[in-house]
Amino acid sequence: MTLLAPAVSVPAPASPRRLSALVTVLVVVHLVLKALALVRVGHAPLIGDEAAYADGGRALSNLLRDLVHLRSPDGDELARNVVGSGWFMPGMAVLLTPLFVIDPDASVLMIRGYLALLTTALLLLAVTEVDRRLGRRYAVALLVFPGLAPMWAIFSATAWGDLCAGLVLVVLVARLVEAVTRDRPVTLREGLVVGLLAVAVVYLRSSTTVVLAGLAAVTLLTVWLRRRGRQRLACAGSLAAGGALALLLLLPWSLAASHVLGARVVTTTSVPTVLANTFGDPGQLCYGPCDPDSSRWFGPVRYAREVARATGRSELTVLAQMSEHARRDVTPAGYATDVAANAGRYAGEPARFARFLHGPGGDGRGPAYTLIVAVTDLLFYPALLAGLVVIAGVWRGPVRRQVLAALVTIGLIGLFLQPFVHISGGRYWTTAAPLLALAAALLTERRAVAAGDGRLTVVQAALTAVAAMLATVVAVGVVLHVA
């Protein structure tokens, strides 16, 4: 775990300079990889939650049209497609709204192409912010992983919010590090920007709430330890204003979802059903088997709604009781077994979705799939190991490095809690990927400083990665061309 040494400080990172040739090459390789990924996934049908986010985006675009034309909004459409069962925060629906304003009948290719462009812009924004506030080493790490991971490139053309949440989260961490480790106080504007970033992360991925709570605690503790007198109060006040803004911006969703579902909703409502399906007995979730003609997610909701109509209770109350019933026989040993299986799904096959995300025809396997898996694994597992080392490590030295290590540690621990409370899969690592990149850069920085040759170390490592990725991109392109 990270320790704060009280006396050592370093100047803030230098103001941004023109991107170096190395970073430019990395960006170009990422763009080529993104184009190849879009070739593979561009015509792949929307899967599961993606369809719900697209429906939400269409509903919000219709809301904007109604407001512009001074028509009464369609409340039923918003309740059905934006709130729905309360499972999904509307962040991705909001990001998709501009596309559907322009083209209400946008095709799957248009949706995926738009998202690919959007996530490219978001990655470049994150790289710029990290370069400006943390340094070139960290920007390079972010471009190498996740920027050059083929599976991450494929996910960047999908409508799940995990990947976007991770990019916004790393921008938030970079801003927090700069704000609390420099000499001058945190301004009100900076505090409000932090609040905007925090609420954006929640809107994109509600499970990050625990991460944000941990980051807030570490940041406020750092301010309290490093500042004195009026500076302490000014910094704490600015950050508190940002927190208040985040809560204020979360309120519209919370009120709307609570009104539609007839019970208090803060972020999402999926936890009871997820806990039952993950750790309990799904065959008892409806006090016996649920509707066999429905999925294990929608079957319980339909049953709960019928019970709610018959009893006058909220469907959320019914779902909570159903979940308790399905989990009544959970034992510590059974829970541990389920957690281990969850962890295996979370990290055991990071490119698993490549077999589902492909165009019509074929089963998604073949040489291209093999290359996607191999290169993704090659980048993912060293980054994961770096994250675990940072979590387990004790950090001394410059305050900036200690604070960054502390925030990365808290962020990764919060994200790695998912297998303990929620069903996991091969797409959730994309939220943690940018923080894993910071962890890897932290380790190379500490080693390079000890060796006295930091710049050469990171350049050599990056050039090696670029060479490997260029060869891989060419190979993948050839395979896709002939497949």
Tell whether 143 is covered by a domain. yes
Strand ranges in 256-376 using DSSP code E only, listed in sequence order: none
Whether the Cβ atoms of residue 44 and residue 119 lie closer than 8 Å to each other: no
Looking at residue 203, what is its pLDDT? 97
DSSP of 96-165, one letter per residue? HHHHHHH-TT--HHHHHHHHHHHHHHHHHHHHHHHHHHT-HHHHHHHHHTTTT-HHHHHHTTS--SHHHH
Looking at residue 351, what is its pLDDT? 93
Task: Return the closest-CA partner of residue 200 out of 212, 189, 190, 188.
Answer: 212
Q: Which pLDDT band, with edges at 50, 70 and 90, does 18 fall under?
A: very low
Looking at residue 361, what is its pLDDT? 66
404 vs 119: CA distance, rounded Å? 24
Tell whether 11 is covered by a domain. no
Q: Which pLDDT band, with edges at 50, 70 and 90, does 177 fall under?
A: very high
pLDDT of residue 422 exceeding 80, the answer is: yes
Tell whether 276 is covered by a domain. no
Q: Which pLDDT band, with edges at 50, 70 and 90, does 104 fall under?
A: very high
Tell whether 361 is covered by a domain. yes
313 and 363 share one domain: no
For 110-124, 240-254, 310-324, which range has the lowest pLDDT when averaged over its residues? 310-324
Label residues 110-142 b or e (16+ Cβ within 10 Å = b).
ebbbbbbebbbebbbebbbbbbbbbbbbbbbbb
Q: What would the mean pLDDT of 395-399 be, rounded to a whole number?
A: 78
361 vs 300: CA distance, rounded Å? 33
Q: Which pLDDT band, with edges at 50, 70 and 90, does 9 fall under?
A: very low
The number of folded domains in the chain is 2
Label residues 18-43 b or e (16+ Cβ within 10 Å = b).
ebeebbebbbebbebbbebbbbbbbe
Tell whether 440 is covered by a domain. yes
Q: Which pLDDT band, with edges at 50, 70 and 90, does 6 fall under?
A: very low
Looking at residue 454, what is its pLDDT? 43
Neighbours of 297 (CB within 10 A): 15
CA dihedral 11, 167, 254, 159 (to 10 degrees): 170
Q: Which pLDDT band, with edges at 50, 70 and 90, does 449 fall under?
A: low
Between 454 and 279, where is the model more confident? 279
Looking at residue 453, what is its pLDDT? 46
Which backbone phi and psi does 145 adopt, to 5 degrees? -140, 120
Long-range contacts of the stretch 312-315 (C-beta < 8 A, 24+): 314/261, 314/262, 314/263, 315/261, 315/262, 315/263
Assigned token pair, 66: 């109604």
CA 255 to chain CA mean position, Å: 24
Q: What would the mean pLDDT of 90-107 be, rounded to a whole number?
A: 96
Q: Which pLDDT band, with edges at 50, 70 and 90, does 298 fall under?
A: confident
pLDDT of residue 479 exceeding 80, the answer is: no
Label residues 207-226 b or e (16+ Cβ within 10 Å = b).
bbbbbbebbbebbbebbeeb
Length of the chain: 483
431 vs 91: CA distance, rounded Å? 14
Report the alpha-carbon angle 134-234-1, nearest 5: 45
Whether the Cβ atoms of residue 160 and residue 383 lie closer than 8 Å to each other: no
Looking at residue 328, what is its pLDDT? 93
184 vs 199: CA distance, rounded Å? 25
Whether the Cβ atoms of residue 285 and residue 322 lie closer than 8 Å to each other: yes
Amino acid letter, 161:
G
Looking at residue 394, what is its pLDDT? 76
pLDDT of residue 160 exceeding 90, the answer is: yes
Which backbone phi and psi does 383 adopt, to 5 degrees? -65, -40
Between 332 and 12, where is the model more confident? 332
260 and 347 share one domain: yes
End-to-end Cα, the chain, rounded Å: 48
Q: H helices within 156-228, ranges in order?
A: 162-181, 188-204, 209-226
320 and 344 share one domain: no
pLDDT of residue 311 exceeding 50, the answer is: yes
Whether the Cβ atoms of residue 151 and residue 41 lie closer than 8 Å to each other: no
pLDDT tens string 372-383: 999 999 999 999
Q: What would the mean pLDDT of 340-361 be, rounded to a whole number?
A: 88
288 and 312 share one domain: yes
385 vs 440: CA distance, rounded Å? 9
325 and 340 share one domain: no
Structural domain of 300: 281-329
317 and 355 share one domain: no
Q: What would the mean pLDDT of 344-355 be, rounded to a whole number?
A: 91
134 and 173 share one domain: yes
Tell whether 20 is covered by a domain. no
341 and 300 share one domain: no
325 and 338 share one domain: no
Picking from 261, 294, 329, the residue at the C-terminal end of a domain is: 329
383 vs 252: CA distance, rounded Å? 37
DSSP state of 186: P
Q: What would the mean pLDDT of 139-158 be, rounded to a whole number?
A: 95
Write down the mean pLDDT value for the chain: 87
Q: Which pLDDT band, with edges at 50, 70 and 90, does 155 fall under?
A: very high
pLDDT of residue 8 exceeding 80, the answer is: no
Looking at residue 48, what is its pLDDT? 86
Looking at residue 377, what is its pLDDT? 95
Tell whether 90 is covered by a domain. yes
> Could you tell me what percent of the chain has a pLDDT over 90?
64
Amino acid letter, 231:
Q
pLDDT of residue 467 exceeding 90, the answer is: no
Q: Which pLDDT band, with edges at 50, 70 and 90, does 447 fall under?
A: low
Looking at residue 440, what is its pLDDT? 95
254 and 150 share one domain: yes
Tell whether 141 is covered by a domain. yes
pLDDT tens string 248-275: 999 999 999 999 998 999 999 988 899 9
Neighbours of 15 (CB within 10 A): 6
471 vs 479: CA distance, rounded Å? 12
Task: Return the closest-CA partner of residue 300 out of 276, 280, 334, 278.
Answer: 276
231 and 348 share one domain: yes
Assigned token pair, 158: 């999908």
pLDDT tens string 188-202: 999 999 999 999 999
DSSP of 235-250, one letter per residue? HHHHHHHHHHHHHHHH
What pTM value is reported for the model? 0.89
104 and 119 share one domain: yes
pLDDT tens string 53-68: 999 999 999 999 999 9
